[in-house]
Amino acid sequence: MKYIAISCDHAGFELKERIKQVLTEKGYSIKDFGPSTDDRMDYPDAIHPLAKAIDKGEIASGIIICGSGNGVAMTANKYANVRAGIAWTPELAELTRQHNDANVLSLPARFISEEVAFECVDKFLNTDFEGGRHATRVDKIAIPC
Catalytic residues, which ones?
66, 99
- Note whether 11 and 67 are within 8 A (CB): yes
Closest by CA to 49, choosing from 107, 16, 5, is 5
Which amino acid, 135? A
Distance of CA 12 to the CA centre of its chain: 12
Helix (H) or strand (E) holding 4: strand 2-8
